[in-house]
């Protein structure tokens, strides 16, 4: 068999079911192998390599399986790069395959030549341009180990054109099924660290658990709930950790931080005397630039699979390097049960309830407003009213992320909310929602994007129609790069410069691609329109004429305090 054949066979052996990508000259042997061989994988042809990477990202986040994207050399490799960077920094197991010019053509001014290992090295957990066909199976196995063990991340493989044509011995083909998904090879906690953390928590007045995406990756929702209920601990989440428990749980205060956090939830975290960071790096957004909590204001227990996060931003009393599920189970077992904690649990539930009343009172007032343009609060409220609890919401940066992370209540735990929080690139939601659909086709995937993001990604409307993806797309249309304009208002004395653009009829654009679409400017018609969109059995788009961020009461701390 050839190197291209070996690549296809290895991907199938590793349990890959979907490949998202875009064709190119250097990929011809790979595509021919996909055509000729029986492998059971579906190739999803995209219209942009960035989209292919975001689709693989969304697929991986929802399924906890490795998402695979591919693209050709040169421009294809540079276009696919942003999605690799996002996945790697967000701990998403994603394999990026790029093809390349022949090894024998290097250094001869060959079209599309570039150093792919140098390109991907800074943004991927591992990168390897395979220079010999007989090394293809080994390279694939190593990439899957890298992506799924320790802190998950993105791996890159480069396949030169001549390597794809070289002969490979079929006996070299074998795979490691345990590395098909995360977490692979779970790391258990050290017993001494568990005992130390239990001692800190046992004597706390009001503990708070700050939960990141590591809990969802680990599948630790049950262990998190049991620990929180046993301790009577308040649970706050990062944007990426949203869904670790249902937002309706009486101990869940919701998202904290500068993007999606609110003043009442800030008060909850500031009241804690012990903070437990779980699968969370305690970064700038979650902690509002390390001010909530203030370093030294509370004792800190930090649980993470990556030892490199300990002590970076907060003095740490106890560091536990472990998989979140194993660490939480061990901690819960060590703690036992105390009668006094029931009173603490009641106090925590009251504090959370008060915070939620304060948080949602202004939201509900604005959600009921009939003013025009339509308020973001009304969009979130009406969307929540028409969607099933198992829907998957993908929020682009800008207006969607803070509003949906703060106010869209998830009524069941699990990965039902996605946003690209590592780098916040526009144009993520539509493609990631397509990937989410292929990962969990029984749930309705919903992409919520601003009109700025729509401009980045609208070519994928053709993909949605061609593949009959029943995607619900909602465009928050305000004819501006709203996040930047709001920043110019709050920090630059309203000196608005080069942030406004012309208004597009996004419904008409979608209709031209063959998507059923509506345009809504009357708030009284929004909920009924969204309900009609949900009932439609194909791809749909709703274009909402919305209030811009600089005029809204967005849950973004730097704009409101």
Domain membership of residue 186 (yes or no) is no
Region 185-196: mean pLDDT is 97
Does 342 have pLDDT greater than 90? no
User: End of a domain among 179, 202, 234?
Assistant: 179
Does 488 have pLDDT greater than 80? yes
- The pLDDT assigned to 521 comes to 98
Question: Rounded CA gap, 97 and 159, in Å?
Answer: 7
pTM over cut 0.85: yes
Is residue 296 classed exposed, middle or buried when 0-12, 13-18 and 19+ CB atoms within 10 A define those classes?
A: exposed
Is the CB of residue 465 less than 8 Å from the CB of residue 473? no
Domain assignment of residue 343, given as a range? 191-354
User: Both 426 and 489 in a single domain?
Assistant: yes
Domain membership of residue 508 (yes or no) is yes
Confidence of residue 339 (pLDDT cuts 50, 70, 90): low
User: Both 99 and 160 in a single domain?
Assistant: yes
Q: How many CA atoms lie within 13 A of 138 on its CB side?
A: 10
User: Both 343 and 381 in a single domain?
Assistant: no
The helix/strand/coil state of 134 is helix
User: End of a domain among 118, 149, 179?
Assistant: 179
Is the preceding omega at residue 559 within 30 degrees of 0, hence cis?
no
Region 182-206: mean pLDDT is 96
Confidence of residue 338 (pLDDT cuts 50, 70, 90): confident
Rg (the chain; Cα; Å)? 24
- The pLDDT assigned to 337 comes to 74
232: which DSSP letter? T
Domain membership of residue 184 (yes or no) is no
Region 307-336: mean pLDDT is 96
List the CATH number of the domain containing 43.
3.40.50.970
Contacts of 403 (CB under 8 A, 6+ apart): 260, 376, 377, 379, 380, 554, 555
- The pLDDT assigned to 479 comes to 96
- The pLDDT assigned to 263 comes to 93
Helix (H) / strand (E) containing 407: helix 400-407
Domain membership of residue 267 (yes or no) is yes
Q: Residue 125 is encoded by which pair of tokens?
A: 């957990």
Q: Tens of pLDDT along 43-55?
A: 999 999 999 999 9
Cβ count within 10 A of residue 313: 19
User: Both 170 and 71 in a single domain?
Assistant: yes
User: Both 301 and 218 in a single domain?
Assistant: yes
| pLDDT > 70: percent of the chain | 99
Does 449 have pLDDT greater than 60? yes
Q: How many domains does the chain have?
A: 3
Region 93-112: mean pLDDT is 96
Strand order from edge to edge, sheet including 252-255: 252-255, 234-237, 207-211, 274-278, 299-304, 318-321
User: Both 390 and 512 in a single domain?
Assistant: yes
Is the CB of residue 59 less than 8 Å from the CB of residue 67? yes
Confidence of residue 344 (pLDDT cuts 50, 70, 90): confident
Q: Contacts for 412-415 with beta carbons within 8 Å, 24 or more apart?
A: 412/246, 413/221, 413/225, 413/243, 413/244, 413/245, 413/246, 414/216, 414/221, 414/243, 415/61, 415/62, 415/216, 415/243
Does 99 have pLDDT greater than 90? yes
User: Both 228 and 264 in a single domain?
Assistant: yes
Q: What is the mean pLDDT of the chain?
A: 96
Choose the weakest-confidence range: 315-319, 339-343, 505-509: 339-343
Region 324-352: mean pLDDT is 89
Region 350-364: mean pLDDT is 95
Q: Tens of pLDDT along 490-500?
A: 999 999 999 99
User: Both 133 and 157 in a single domain?
Assistant: yes
Does 557 have pLDDT greater than 90? no
Does 340 have pLDDT greater than 80? no
User: Both 329 and 466 in a single domain?
Assistant: no
Does 558 have pLDDT greater than 90? no
User: Both 213 and 285 in a single domain?
Assistant: yes
Domain membership of residue 362 (yes or no) is no
Confidence of residue 543 (pLDDT cuts 50, 70, 90): very high
User: Both 233 and 153 in a single domain?
Assistant: no
Helix (H) / strand (E) containing 452: helix 451-457
User: End of a domain among 295, 329, 354?
Assistant: 354
Question: Three-state SS string across 490-523, please?
Answer: HHCCCCCCCCECCCCCHHHHHHHHCCEEEEECCH
Total H helices, total E strands in the chain: 22, 18
Confidence of residue 561 (pLDDT cuts 50, 70, 90): low
| pLDDT > 90: percent of the chain | 97
Domain membership of residue 361 (yes or no) is no
Domain membership of residue 377 (yes or no) is yes
Classify 73 in phi/psi space as left (phi over 0), alpha (psi -120 to 50) or beta: beta
Q: Tens of pLDDT along 254-287?
A: 999 999 999 999 999 999 999 999 999 999 999 9
Domain membership of residue 363 (yes or no) is no
Question: Rounded CA gap, 387 and 446, in Å?
Answer: 9
Q: Tens of pLDDT along 62-97?
A: 999 999 999 999 999 999 999 999 999 999 999 999
User: Both 314 and 462 in a single domain?
Assistant: no
């Amino acid at each position: 068999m050839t190197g291209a054949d070996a690549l296809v066979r290895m991907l199938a052996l590793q349990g890959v079911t979907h490949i998202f990508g875009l064709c190119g000259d250097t990929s011809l042997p790979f595509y021919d192998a996909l055509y000729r061989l029986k492998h059971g994988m579906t190739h999803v042809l995209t219209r942009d390599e960035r989209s292919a990477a975001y689709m693989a990202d969304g697929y991986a986040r929802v399924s906890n399986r490795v998402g695979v994207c591919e693209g050709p050399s040169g421009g294809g490799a540079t276009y696919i790069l942003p999605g690799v960077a996002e996945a790697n920094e967000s701990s998403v197991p994603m394999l990026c395959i790029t093809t390349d010019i022949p090894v024998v053509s290097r250094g001869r001014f060959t079209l599309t030549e570039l150093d792919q290992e140098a390109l991907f090295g800074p943004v991927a957990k591992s990168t390897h341009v395979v220079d010999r066909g007989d090394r293809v199976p080994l390279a694939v196995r190593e990439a899957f180990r890298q992506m799924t063990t320790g802190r998950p991340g993105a791996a890159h493989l480069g396949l030169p054109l001549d390597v794809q044509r070289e002969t490979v011995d079929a006996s070299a083909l074998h795979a490691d099924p345990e590395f098909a998904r995360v977490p692979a090879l779970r790391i258990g906690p050290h017993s001494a660290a568990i005992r130390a953390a239990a001692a800190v928590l046992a004597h706390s007045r009001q503990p708070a658990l700050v939960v990141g995406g590591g809990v969802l990756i680990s599948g630790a929702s049950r262990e998190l709930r049991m620990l929180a209920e046993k301790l009577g601990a308040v649970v706050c989440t990062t944007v990426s950790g949203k869904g670790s428990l249902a937002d309706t749980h009486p101990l869940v205060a919701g998202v904290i931080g500068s993007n999606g956090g609110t003043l009442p939830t800030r008060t909850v975290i500031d009241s804690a005397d012990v903070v437990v960071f779980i699968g969370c790096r305690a970064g700038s957004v979650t902690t509002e630039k390390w001010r909530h909590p203030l370093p030294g204001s509370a004792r800190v227990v930090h649980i993470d699979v990556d030892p490199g996060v300990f002590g970076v931003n907060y003095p740490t009393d106890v560091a536990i390097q472990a998989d979140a599920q194993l660490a939480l189970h061990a901690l819960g077992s060590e703690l036992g049960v105390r009668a006094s904690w029931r009173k603490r649990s009641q106090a925590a539930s009251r504090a959370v309830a008060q915070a939620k009343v304060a948080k949602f009172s202004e939201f509900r007032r604005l959600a009921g407003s009939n003013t025009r343009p339509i308020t973001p609060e009304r969009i979130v409220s009406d969307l929540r009213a028409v969607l099933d609890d198992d829907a998957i919401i993908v929020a682009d940066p800008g207006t969607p992320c803070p509003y949906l992370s703060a106010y869209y209540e998830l009524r069941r735990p699990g990965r039902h909310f996605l946003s690209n929080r590592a780098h916040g690139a526009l144009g993520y939601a539509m493609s990631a929602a397509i990937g989410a659909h292929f990962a969990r086709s029984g749930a309705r995937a919903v992409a919520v994007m601003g009109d700025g993001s729509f401009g980045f990604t609208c070519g994928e409307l053709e993909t949605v129609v061609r593949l009959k993806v029943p995607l619900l797309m909602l465009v928050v249309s305000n004819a501006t790069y709203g996040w930047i304009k709001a920043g110019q208002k709050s920090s630059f004395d309203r000196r608005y410069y080069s942030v406004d653009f012309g208004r597009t009829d996004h419904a008409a654009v979608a209709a031209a691609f063959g998507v059923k679409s509506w345009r809504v400017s009357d708030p009284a018609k929004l909920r009924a329109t969204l309900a009609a969109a949900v009932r439609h059995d194909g791809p749909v788009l709703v274009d909402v004429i919305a209030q811009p961020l600089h005029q809204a009461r967005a849950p973004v701390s730097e704009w409101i305090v």
